[in-house]
C-alpha cells in the first residue's frame, strides 16, 4: 500500500534532477505518473511556458487516465547572473518559465480537480527566497512569486477540496546545478546547514510525496523548507 495508490499525478521538469526524483517517488508510492518536460524522454514533451502545451498536457492526462489528482510543478530555469547583467529579455525568460509556467499548469490542472472535489498541488520554490542569495535576483523574484501565488491559491481552492503547498529545497546536487557555477557553493552552503552534507534530489522527493498525499489534507498554503536546516521559515 502506497500513499498515492490510485492517484494520477503530473510532474513537470521530470527529465532529470529533483523532478525525476519526485516522479520516481510518486510512482513508488503507487501513483500513475505523467512525467513532462521540455526535453524528450519523458511521458509527454511540454513547454510549461506555452499555454497550448499546458492545456494539451491536462486534456491528454484526463483523457487517458480519467482524472488528475496531483500536480507537482518542478520545471524551472536556474540561472546564475549578477544582477546588473540581467537585462529585460533575461528577466522575462526566467519569469515565463518559473512563474508564468506555474500559473498555467495550476490554471488548467485545477479545472478537473475542482470538478472531482479533490486535488493536491505542490509548487517547488527555493530557500533562496528566504536567504536572498546573490546572482539569482530574477530567479529569487520568480520563486518568491511562486510562493506568494501558492498561498493565495490555497485560499481560493480550499473550499473545493484542493490543497496548494510549496516545497523550498536548498542547494541540491542535480544535473542542472552540477553544470552551473552554483556547484562551487556546495562546501560553503554545507557549513551553514544543520546537517552538514550535500543534498541530493532524493532528499527533496519525500517532502513532495507527503504534501501530495491524501493524509496531508489539513495542510495548505504552507512552505515546507527542505534544506538540511540552512534557513528558517
Ligand X SMILES: NC(=O)c1ccc[n+]([C@@H]2O[C@H](COP(=O)([O-])OP(=O)(O)OC[C@H]3O[C@@H](n4cnc5c(N)ncnc54)[C@H](O)[C@@H]3O)[C@@H](O)[C@H]2O)c1
Q: Does 49 bind ligand X (CB under 6 A)?
A: yes
Q: Segment 85-104, which members bind ligand X (CB under 6 A)?
A: 97, 101
Question: Binding of ligand X at residue 52 (CB under 6 A)?
Answer: no
Does 112 contact ligand X by CB under 6 A? no
Closest to 48 in 3D by CA, of 4, 107, 6, 5 = 107
Query: Which is it for the CA torsion 43, 15, 41, 150, positive or negative?
Result: positive
Alpha helices in the chain (DSSP H): 17-28, 51-65, 88-95, 101-116, 128-131, 137-157, 175-178, 186-192, 201-211
| Residue 23 contacts residue 32 (beta carbons within 8 Å) | no
Total chain residues near ligand X (CB under 6 A): 30
Could you tell me which stretch among 59-67, 148-156, 174-182, 212-220 binds ligand X (CB under 6 A)?
174-182
Grouping H, G, I as helix, E, B as strand and the rest as coil, residue 90 is: helix
Assess whether 139 carries a catalytic annotation. Answer: yes
Q: How far is the CB of 110 from ligand X (least distance, A)?
A: 19
131 near ligand X, rule: CB under 6 A? no
Asked if 202 touches ligand X (CB under 6 A), the answer is no
Q: Kindly state whether residue 47 participates in binding ligand X, applying the rule CB under 6 A.
A: yes
**Whether 157 contacts 119, CB under 8 Å:** yes
Q: Is 106 in the site for ligand X (CB under 6 A)?
A: no
* Whole-number Å distance between alpha carbons of 19 and 9: 12
Report, as residue numbers or ranges, the catalytic residues.
Answer: 139
Q: Please give the residue ranges that form the binding site for ligand X (CB under 6 A).
A: 12-13, 15-19, 37-39, 46-49, 74-78, 97, 101, 124, 126, 169, 171-172, 174-177
Amino acid at each position: 500500500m502506497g500513499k498515492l495508490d490510485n492517484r494520477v499525478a503530473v510532474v513537470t521538469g521530470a527529465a532529470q534532477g529533483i523532478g525525476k526524483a519526485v516522479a520516481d517517488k510518486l510512482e513508488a508510492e503507487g501513483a500513475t505518473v505523467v512525467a513532462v518536460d521540455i526535453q524528450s524522454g519523458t511521458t509527454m514533451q511540454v513547454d510549461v511556458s506555452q499555454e497550448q502545451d499546458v492545456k494539451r498536457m491536462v486534456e491528454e492526462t484526463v483523457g487517458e487516465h480519467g482524472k488528475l489528482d496531483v500536480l507537482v510543478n518542478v520545471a524551472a530555469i536556474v540561472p546564475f547572473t549578477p544582477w546588473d547583467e540581467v537585462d529585460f529579455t533575461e528577466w522575462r525568460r526566467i519569469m515565463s518559465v518559473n512563474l508564468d509556467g506555474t500559473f498555467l499548469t495550476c490554471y488548467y490542472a485545477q479545472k478537473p480537480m475542482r470538478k472531482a472535489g479533490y486535488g493536491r498541488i505542490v509548487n517547488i520554490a527555493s530557500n533562496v527566497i528566504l536567504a536572498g542569495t546573490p546572482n539569482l535576483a530574477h530567479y529569487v523574484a520568480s520563486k518568491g512569486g511562486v510562493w506568494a501565488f501558492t498561498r493565495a491559491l490555497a485560499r481560493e481552492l480550499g473550499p473545493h477540496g484542493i490543497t496548494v503547498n510549496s516545497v523550498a529545497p536548498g542547494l541540491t546536487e542535480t544535473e542542472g546545478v552540477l553544470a552551473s557555477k552554483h556547484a562551487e557553493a556546495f562546501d560553503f552552503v554545507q557549513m551553514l546547514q544543520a546537517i552538514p552534507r550535500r543534498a541530493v534530489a532524493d532528499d527533496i522527493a519525500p517532502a513532495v510525496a507527503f504534501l501530495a498525499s491524501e493524509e496531508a489534507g489539513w495542510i495548505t498554503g504552507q512552505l515546507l523548507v527542505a534544506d538540511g536546516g540552512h534557513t528558517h521559515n
